[in-house]
Amino acid sequence: MEQIPITHIVIVSSALFFIGVYGFFARRNLITILMSVELILNSANINFIAFNRYLYPDKLDGVFFTLFIITIAAAEVSLALAIIINLYRRFNTIDIEDTKTMKY
């Protein structure tokens, strides 16, 4: 079975990363920003797995880093969604531009 060249994997990972960065800076919706952060984390996971596979095929260090990132991302999503739900209940919006009306 033929392996996919690492350059293809890095190109896909870079595309995911830059789509996530664009979504983080260009969007105003908190849910979209949260999904953009997840895209950035997933691109890092792809890099960890790809470089682990090509540089150290007998070790599982990249897989362990990926599992750790997935665990942290799950905790981050649950906490962020709780905060977003509370903001929506209080201000009836999750748009970043409406923060001028948010007075604590």
Domain boundaries, the chain: 29-97
Kindly list the distances between the CA atom of residue 28 and the CA atoms of 31, 51, 60, 91, 96, in Å, as whole numbers in the listed order.
9, 34, 38, 15, 5
Please report where in the chains the tokens 């984390």 appear, as a residue: 41
Which residues are CB-contacts of 46 (< 8 A; sequence separation ≥ 6)? Answer: 9, 12, 13, 16
Number of helices and strands in the chain (H, E): 3, 0
Token pair, residue 84, equals 């977003």
* Inter-residue contact 43 to 17 (CB < 8 Å): yes
pTM score, two decimals?
A: 0.84
State yes or no: pLDDT of 104 exceeds 70.
no
Quick: pLDDT tens for 22-76.
Answer: 999 998 888 999 999 999 999 999 999 999 999 998 999 999 999 999 999 999 9
